[in-house]
Amino acid sequence: MNIGINAICGLTVIPVRADHQDTSEIVTQLLFGETVTIIEIHHQWVKIKIVHDQYEGWVDNKQLLKVSDSTFESLNKNTKRQHTDLNTLQTPWGKQHVLQGSPILSTSNNFRIDDLQFESHSNSGSNTVYDSLTEIALSYSNSPYLWGGRTAFGIDCSGFTQTVYHQMNYYLPRDASQQFLKGEPIAFDQQQPGDLAFFKSEKTGNIHHVGIILDKEKIIHAHGKVRIDTLNPEGVYNEDKKYYSHKFTGIKRYF
């Protein structure tokens, strides 16, 4: 692959790393079908810019699928995301699992991406359709915390809010500090379910955590796992361990 080539994630989920080596930290993940542009090359590693949030990082080029410019443009116009826990595609390279939050590449069960043929086999036991943002958020309950993660098998705080909002066709930036720069500020007593609450580090003063507000002074967020805790003007109170885990900063609303 060359600089300027457009591609999509060709596997269920792949790590995007801070540097061009397997031991480098994961900064985010790509889900099947998400689009990228290659901006730098180092041996088998390529530095990519992710289209939906402009995030940059390194991936193994064997995990990407090159697409034509016309297909790339068409895929970028699609904002719908998968709500089902798991879908299965029959691909030219065999069965491919597609996770919740991934782009829906086609509404047809049979479709093509350039010269490649795909067939969708939706799992009958995973056809839940969520009516609200908070229902989507709750579907990630107990997912383990993973720095850089964006799936129910491992997710971080801003990956959680970003992926949930994706499924409501709203595209948030990747990091909590970036998300805080968007949206409308909301007073604590005017909060609504689905608003995002943000928290500052007491050491640095920087925004370092975010969660989704539920009703009745509750928040769902990724901290050890995706969990529900109490939210008050002081911060997030962990009822299990009887302490404040995060210091409250502000609330934002996006739609």
In a domain, 1, yes or no: no
Domain, as residue range, for 155: 133-253
Threshold 0.85, pTM exceeds: yes
Residues 64, 99, single domain; the answer is yes
Residues 162, 248, single domain; the answer is yes
3-class DSSP state of 160: helix
In a domain, 194, yes or no: yes
Assigned token pair, 51: 């289209």
Residues 249, 139, single domain; the answer is yes
The catalytically annotated residue of 20, 208, 209, 223 is: 209
pLDDT (average), residues 132-157: 97
- pLDDT of residue 124 exceeding 60, the answer is no
pLDDT at 128: 54
Residues 93, 14, single domain; the answer is yes
pLDDT (average), residues 101-119: 93
CA dist., res. 103 & res. 105, Å (int): 6
**35, β-bridge pairs:** 8
Question: Is residue 43 annotated as part of the catalytic site, yes or no?
Answer: no
CA dist., res. 209 & res. 196, Å (int): 10
The catalytically annotated residue of 83, 208, 221, 223 is: 221
Residues 143, 106, single domain; the answer is no
Residues 66, 33, single domain; the answer is yes
Residue-by-residue DSSP string for 201-241: -TTT-SEEEEEEE-SSSEEEEEESEEEEEEEETTEEEETTT
Tell me if 217 sits within 8 A of 231, measured CB to CB.
yes
Which tens digits make up the pLDDT trace of 232-248? 999 999 988 899 999 99
The catalytically annotated residue of 52, 83, 157, 223 is: 157
Which tens digits make up the pLDDT trace of 173-192? 999 999 999 999 999 999 99
Residue where a domain terminates, one of 98, 125, 152: 125
**145, β-bridge pairs:** 155
Residues 108, 20, single domain; the answer is yes
Q: Indicate which CATH number applies to the domain containing 26.
A: 2.30.30.40
Sole residue written with tokens 């029959």: 90
Domain count, the chain: 2
Residue where a domain terminates, one of 125, 145, 167: 125
Residues 97, 144, single domain; the answer is no
* Cα 67-152-139 angle, rounded to 5 deg: 115
In a domain, 37, yes or no: yes
Residue where a domain terminates, one of 125, 156, 191: 125
Residues 189, 206, single domain; the answer is yes
pLDDT (average), residues 138-145: 97
Tell me if 47 sits within 8 A of 58, measured CB to CB.
yes
Question: Is residue 20 annotated as part of the catalytic site, yes or no?
Answer: no
Per DSSP (E only), the strands in 18-81 are 26-31, 35-42, 45-50, 56-60, 64-66
Residues 140, 233, single domain; the answer is yes
pLDDT at 246: 96
Question: Within its chain, how far is the Cα of 37 from the centroid?
Answer: 18
Assigned token pair, 128: 């839940």
CA dist., res. 93 & res. 167, Å (int): 27
Question: Is residue 209 annotated as part of the catalytic site, yes or no?
Answer: yes
